[in-house]
Chain A
């Protein structure tokens, strides 16, 4: 019988007890639950990783607009600018932001992506993971390990908070994606389990309260640009955590705060497009245009 691990404290304890990395423990448990070998389980994760890379590749060479016509050509714009003049923060920053836009734009034009954890937040984990792996020459095995850790982080959060904008706002979608990325990146940088948990906590803490107020109810405004923003946010969290900077509030308590904030958040700001950006003057004009076109 596999003991179910549904909090970060339990995860930390069991990893310490078994002297395992987060990914090792998660991989073995998943394989056991699915009644498959750990190699077969790794292959499942690799399929997701490969699909993430394919989405980046397709997204980089398209500027096809979404059905609504509101978004789709920003990745192209960003690439042209970087070709002309590099990013202030260098190549890694360029890659993360470009890959994030490539992926999320591939999503809105009905291309193939990996929901991670959701479609609207699908670009955050891949952009950080793939860009860093390319720049630091990280092996595929290590990339898979990092993705397992990202999945394990999201899984534990999902026990307390449904990862849906309609339930807890964008903090539970892009916010959690950013926290997952921070943990995965911290692991790639050689972080200990404790440092990984701190990276997650630091990323999550600084996104509490993020609402879900999409214009026209579509996964476009502000979702598209939010993905590169929160990908970079993940890097900040990992950099701090790997320096042994700790979240003064333990991770499980941060997740409690996430849950409470989600409950207190007005339903008008939870994917219902009844307030916030969705009800600005310009958003209403876009809405008129969109519904006339449809």
Chain B
């Protein structure tokens, strides 16, 4: 049974007008920013379906950009974000698409620059979001847990090598791979925090290509 809180109902404090199309957009942006984990120089936002169709009226475009810039859902700067100085520091554009294989409120963040990366996510209602894909790996990041994300070579023993170092309780674990022995991803949701030393240790493992520690969203 899912655990719920009254704070799911009487919050968040957010700028309007829509929890899915505005607050959800900001939270998707924040998560994508955390996943990318490098200064954003150039980005394309690709909005799908309802996000593409009604996004402008809901400030979805503003929300996505604000999230990428690190603003929280209740930041009143979101409304005029396009005119703000912080927005002028990056090169961004929006694309609008229809694709009914995608969620009604889906978005791709296409990062360019020194590090290219594509992060995809959906706004699934009431401000809740899920990051579904990072490049071609399926993931399931909701922003509710501190999460360790690994990209590595699919070799036997990797899961136990990593998880035995983690001292806090693991809430969930999801793996995906291109093919046997090929690139693989591991998404570990945690009930607590891990320190930088652990992340460095795992980063130095043979066959580990990338490690990200993605902190949970504050609101």
Q: Footprint of B on A, CB under 8 Å?
A: 4, 6, 26, 30, 33-34, 44-45, 47-48, 51, 66-68, 106-120, 122, 125, 147-148, 150-152, 154-155, 158-159, 162-164, 166-167, 180, 216-220, 290, 294
B interface residue count range (under 10 / 10 to 19 / 20 to 34 / 35 or more): 35 or more
Contacts of B43 in A (CB 8 A): none
Contacts of B56 in A (CB 8 A): 67, 294
Complex CA gap A33/B11 in Å reads 17
Contacts of B8 in A (CB 8 A): 117, 155, 158
CB distance from B189 to the nearest CB of A (A): 17
4 A-B pairs with least C-beta separation: A151-B6, A107-B16, A154-B9, A217-B54
CB distance from B123 to the nearest CB of A (A): 11
Complex CA gap A246/B19 in Å reads 34
Whether A4 and B57, one on each chain, are in contact in the complex, defined by CB atoms closer than 8 angstroms, is: no
A162 is contacted by which of B13, B19, B79, B126 (Cβ under 8 Å)? B126
* Chain B contact residues, majority secondary structure: mixed
**Chain A, residue nearest B2 (CB):** A159
Whether B57 and A152, one on each chain, are in contact in the complex, defined by CB atoms closer than 8 angstroms, is: no
B22 adjacent to chain A (CB < 8 Å): yes
Complex CA gap A151/B79 in Å reads 28
**Chain B, residue nearest A223 (CB):** B17
Whether B22 and A110, one on each chain, are in contact in the complex, defined by CB atoms closer than 8 angstroms, is: yes
19 further contact pairs, Cβ within 8 A, besides A109-B79, A114-B11, A115-B126: A30-B6, A44-B11, A47-B11, A66-B57, A68-B57, A111-B76, A115-B12, A118-B126, A119-B23, A120-B17, A155-B5, A155-B6, A155-B8, A158-B9, A164-B125, A166-B104, A216-B54, A219-B17, A219-B18
Complex CA gap A216/B74 in Å reads 25
| B10, B54, B125: most-surrounded residue (chain A CB, <10 A) | B10
Complex CA gap A48/B74 in Å reads 12
